[in-house]
């Protein structure tokens, strides 16, 4: 299942790359892509466990760039 | 941002004061300390906080370490300068990113903001997404058309530039189809919604452009990978630089080497690359879509830039897929032209035409051939029949089907009918043979080697002349091929299901020298496979089709380009790139833009890496100071971003 989300206040391109890697490494995530310019996040993950995945993704974003926020 | 500027100015002022007081006394020490806290306080704070969060190679941390390190070894001006330049650079960088984000947002400007929906008798300004199929809307002059709809009242012109990149205004009136995202001209239009917003052309385009960034180019993938190892590698090199030389040269040189190592930390952020490369591709995608070429990802931009073989499907791509009468030949085999249009006085003209036919049968005026043929084929659904009727109407004729009796369609041969008292037969050579109308040798000679479909005409069983009907070549098809040749594309190939003679004539006219004709849809895939084997390893194969019947080839090619994507969902789905209007010449434009985008990305890679490398080498040799390093680092980032913005144009 593919989810398209948005990160607000994404300021650092390298952080976006780190977030992308972090989320892609989560269990159940097939792929993740973050566009620094549009703040768009595309997560392709298993449908069951999607809620956990998204909760973990929110944490990853917060941890890497404290000002940024993944909007669910 | 304003607060930031004030803070940095204040810090800068204290820094200048410290420099004036001069190094080496207590007052200046305190001034430097105050300056660095004002300028870099936030960086230090984030650095410390991030350590507790377990993030060591964070940009803040490295920059803080460099500044604090410099401060500790007594290089006060260096320490403050590093922080100051770093912050100023970040500020510029943010401004540049903001600017490009805005430029990209303005590309997305085609999203209609509201729709004037009729709710009963009241007009309600609503979100286009709330409209349903069948709802009635009103579009005021100058407004953006909110939804795909069909005009129920009013007339105006519509500018489709936002969707097709062409600013030719199109006339619309009752029954015209409107596409959301286009801009209405000076007339008021009432329309009925035909598609919900999510399904409309504009929503699909926006979706496609926004999601295109997800398909990353090889350069982007390389940079992301590179960035991952770059920072740890530079930090490791810094540690070695601080420790190893003193081991051999003596520990009294440690401070000097530590200073050089700190210079390394300053350039340890791969920011310039990480921002500017994706930005180049994103800008490229944006610039392409602004010009009516949608590309579904950065990877396809790279493939387009390396195009070596371009394969065109003929019908609907290089030709309009609409048949047209191109020659009228009389029974003497002489090509006849229609000198003046048909007069309004249809009845009298028919009388005259019949008189002429009664009188001579042979050598009949071109006008009569066309008029009687058009009426004879008045009820036929064959494309050639439609072409003849269109040609008749184009010359000012009016189709009056009340003059037609006993219209019969003769499958595989043509049609016959009684038109205004004349027995007309229009069809192929077989039909002529059946009714006993002999085709004169002069006509056979004229038609020798001709392309297209020939429609022979007989009046009252006597041969009268012929019309040739063929598919019309798009006006820019020649320019399309020329443009590709100018770009150095090695193989330009045309595939078609048509007969060889016809195909070769078309190809010659357009300037294509490699033609494969008589292909069934499944043969096309095979041909493309063959072309794949012929091309070099690095070169890419581009296939251009109209999305009808060629989905497998679109999918097989390195880049499948669909033409006229506005109409067909299937084409947009199957293709990797979509040319929004019907012009094949857009392909050369697209390849040129793709090459430019790839060029810009490459410039940024070489430039940013090159400067970093030079700074590293000079830093290691002790030739560059820290503040020059920071200047180079953030300066490169800003320049690379500005360079990336060029791709948007």
Say if B464 falls within a structural domain. Answer: yes
Average pLDDT (B151-160) is 89
Q: Render pLDDT for B494-503 as a digit per residue (tens, 0 to 9).
A: 998 777 777 8
Residue that is last in its domain, among B472, B500, B523: B472
Q: Do B213 and A37 touch (CB under 8 A)?
A: yes
Percent of chain A past pLDDT 70, that is, above it, reads 100
B302: pLDDT confidence band, cut at 50, 70 and 90? very high
Interface contact B275, partner A, CB < 8 A: yes
Q: How far apart are CA B471 and CA A2, in angstroms?
A: 44
Whether B567 shows a pLDDT value over 70: the answer reads no
Domain extent, residue B386, equals 331-472
Contact between B258 and B238 under an 8 Å Cβ cutoff? The reply is: no
Among B91-105, B354-368, B599-613, the least confident range: B354-368
pLDDT score recorded for residue B566: 58
B478: pLDDT confidence band, cut at 50, 70 and 90? very high
Suggest the residue from B224, B286, B634 to mutate for an interface test with chain A (most A CBs closer than 10 A).
B224
Q: Domain-by-domain residue ranges, chain A? A: 2-71
**Strand partners for B122:** B119
Q: Do A36 and B275 touch (CB under 8 A)?
A: yes
B532: pLDDT confidence band, cut at 50, 70 and 90? very high
Q: Is the pTM of this model over 0.80?
A: no
CA A41 to chain B, closest CA, distance in angstroms equals: 9
CA B212 to chain A, closest CA, distance in angstroms equals: 10
Say if B441 falls within a structural domain. Answer: yes
Domain CATH for B425: 3.40.1110.10
Interface contact B1, partner A, CB < 8 A: no
Interface contact B100, partner A, CB < 8 A: yes
Contact between A51 and A72 under an 8 Å Cβ cutoff? The reply is: no
Chain B residue nearest residue A32, CA to CA: B214
CA A18 to chain B, closest CA, distance in angstroms equals: 8
Suggest the residue from B42, B62, B100, B214 to mutate for an interface test with chain A (most A CBs closer than 10 A).
B214
Q: How far is CA B94 from CA B91, B272, B639, in A?
A: 5, 12, 12
- Choose which CATH entry (3.40.50.300, 3.30.70.100, 3.90.550.10, 3.40.50.10860) describes domain A2-71: 3.30.70.100
Whether B207 shows a pLDDT value over 80: the answer reads no
B588: pLDDT confidence band, cut at 50, 70 and 90? very high
Residues of B in contact with A37 (CB under 8 A): 97, 100-101, 104, 213, 278-279, 282
The catalytic residues of B are: 313
Residue B214: phi and psi, rounded to 5, are -70, -30
Q: Do B211 and A42 touch (CB under 8 A)?
A: yes
Average pLDDT (B251-261) is 87
Say if B392 falls within a structural domain. Answer: yes
Contact between B146 and B135 under an 8 Å Cβ cutoff? The reply is: no
Residues of A in contact with B213 (CB under 8 A): 33, 35, 37-38, 40
Residues of A in contact with B278 (CB under 8 A): 13, 35-37
Q: Do A35 and B278 touch (CB under 8 A)?
A: yes
Residue that is last in its domain, among B183, B210, B237: B210
What number of C-beta contacts closer than 8 Å exist between A and B?
56
pLDDT score recorded for residue B228: 82
Provide residues of A within 8 Å CB-CB of chain B. Answer: 4, 11-14, 16-17, 20-21, 33, 35-38, 40, 42, 63-64, 66
Q: Do A37 and B278 touch (CB under 8 A)?
A: yes
Chain A residue nearest residue B100, CA to CA: A37
Cβ neighbours of B222 (radius 10 Å): 14
Chain A residue nearest residue B52, CA to CA: A63
Q: Do B271 and A17 touch (CB under 8 A)?
A: no
Interface contact B59, partner A, CB < 8 A: yes
Chain A residue nearest residue B277, CA to CA: A13
Interface contact B43, partner A, CB < 8 A: no
Say if B375 falls within a structural domain. Answer: yes
- CA nearest neighbour of B307 among B511, B505, B491: B491
Say if B530 falls within a structural domain. Answer: no
H-helix segments, B491-585: 500-510, 521-534, 551-556, 569-574
Q: Do A13 and B224 touch (CB under 8 A)?
A: no
B511: pLDDT confidence band, cut at 50, 70 and 90? very high
Token pair 């009752």: residue? B174
Chain centroid, CA B615 distance in Å: 39
Residues of B in contact with A17 (CB under 8 A): 224, 227-228, 274
Average pLDDT (B473-492) is 92
Residue B336: phi and psi, rounded to 5, are -110, 145
Domain CATH for B138: 2.70.150.10
Task: Name the residue with higher pLDDT: B316 or B106.
Answer: B316
| Count of domains for chain B | 2
CA B278 to chain A, closest CA, distance in angstroms equals: 8
């Amino acid at each position: 299942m593919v989810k398209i989300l948005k990160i607000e206040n994404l300021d650092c391109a390298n952080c976006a790359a780190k977030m992308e890697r972090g989320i892609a490494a989560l269990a159940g995530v097939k792929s993740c892509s973050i566009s620094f310019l549009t703040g768009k996040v595309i997560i392709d993950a298993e449908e069951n466990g999607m809620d956990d995945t998204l909760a973990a993704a929110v944490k990853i974003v917060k941890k890497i760039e404290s000002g940024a926020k993944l909007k669910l | 941002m304003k607060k930031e500027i004030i803070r940095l100015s204040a810090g800068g002022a204290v820094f200048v004061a410290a420099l004036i007081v001069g190094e080496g006394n207590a007052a200046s020490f305190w001034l430097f300390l105050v300056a660095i806290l004002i300028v870099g306080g936030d960086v230090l704070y984030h650095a410390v906080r991030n350590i507790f969060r377990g993030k060591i190679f964070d940009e803040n941390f490295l920059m803080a370490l460099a500044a604090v390190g410099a401060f500790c070894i007594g290089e006060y001006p260096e320490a403050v300068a590093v922080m100051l330049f770093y912050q100023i650079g970040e500020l510029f960088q943010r401004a540049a990113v903001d600017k490009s984000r805005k430029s990209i947002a303005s590309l997305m400007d085609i999203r209609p903001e509201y729709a004037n929906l009729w709710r009963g008798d009241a007009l309600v300004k609503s979100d286009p997404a709330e409209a349903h199929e069948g709802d009635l809307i009103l579009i005021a002059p100058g407004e953006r058309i909110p939804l795909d709809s069909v005009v129920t009242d009013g007339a105006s012109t519509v500018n489709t530039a936002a969707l097709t990149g062409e600013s030719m205004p199109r006339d619309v009136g009752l029954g015209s189809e409107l596409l959301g995202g286009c801009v209405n001209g000076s007339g008021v239009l009432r329309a009925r919604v035909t598609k919900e917003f999510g399904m409309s052309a504009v929503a699909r385009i926006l979706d496609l452009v926004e999601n295109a960034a997800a398909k990353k180019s090889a350069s982007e993938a390389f940079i992301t990978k590179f960035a991952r190892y770059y920072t740890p590698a530079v930090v490791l090199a810094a540690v070695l630089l601080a420790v190893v030389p003193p081991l051999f040269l003596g520990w009294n040189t440690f401070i000097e080497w530590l200073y050089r190592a700190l210079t390394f930390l300053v350039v340890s952020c791969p920011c310039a690359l990480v921002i500017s490369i994706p930005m180049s591709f994103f800008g490229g995608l944006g610039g392409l879509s602004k010009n009516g070429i949608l590309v579904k990802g950065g990877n396809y931009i790279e493939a387009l830039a390396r195009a070596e073989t371009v394969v065109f499907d003929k019908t609907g791509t290089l030709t309009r897929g609409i048949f047209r009468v191109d020659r009228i030949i009389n029974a003497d085999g002489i090509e006849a032209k229609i000198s003046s249009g048909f007069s309004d006085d249809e009845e009298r003209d028919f009388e005259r035409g019949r008189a002429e036919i009664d009188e001579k049968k042979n050598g009949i005026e071109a006008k009569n051939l066309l008029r009687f043929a058009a009426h004879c084929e008045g009820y036929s659904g064959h494309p050639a029949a439609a072409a003849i009727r269109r040609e008749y109407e184009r010359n000012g004729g009016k189709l009056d089907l009340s003059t037609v009796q006993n219209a019969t369609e003769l499958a595989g041969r043509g049609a016959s009918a009684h038109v205004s008292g004349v027995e007309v037969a229009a069809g192929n050579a077989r039909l002529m043979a059946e009714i006993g109308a002999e085709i004169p040798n002069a006509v056979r000679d004229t038609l020798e080697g001709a392309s297209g479909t020939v429609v022979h005409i007989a009046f009252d069983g006597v041969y009268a002349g012929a019309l040739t009907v063929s598919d019309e070549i798009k006006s820019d098809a020649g320019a399309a091929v020329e443009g590709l040749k100018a770009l150095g594309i090695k193989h330009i190939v045309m595939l078609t299901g048509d007969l060889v003679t016809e195909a070769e004539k078309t190809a010659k006219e357009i300037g294509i020298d490699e033609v494969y004709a008589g292909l069934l849809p499944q043969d096309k895939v095979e041909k493309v496979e063959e072309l794949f084997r012929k091309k070099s390893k690095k070169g890419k194969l581009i296939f251009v089709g109209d999305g009808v019947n060629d989905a497998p080839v679109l999918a097989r090619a390195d880049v499948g380009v669909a033409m006229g994507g506005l109409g067909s969902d299937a084409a947009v789905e199957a293709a990797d790139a979509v040319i929004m209007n019907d012009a094949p010449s857009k392909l050369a434009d697209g390849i040129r833009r793709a090459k430019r985008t790839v060029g810009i990305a490459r410039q940024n890679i070489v430039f940013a890496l090159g400067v970093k490398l030079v700074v590293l080498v000079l830093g290691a040799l002790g030739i560059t100071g820290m503040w020059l390093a920071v200047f180079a680092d953030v300066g490169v980032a800003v320049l690379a971003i500005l360079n990336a913005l060029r791709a948007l144009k």
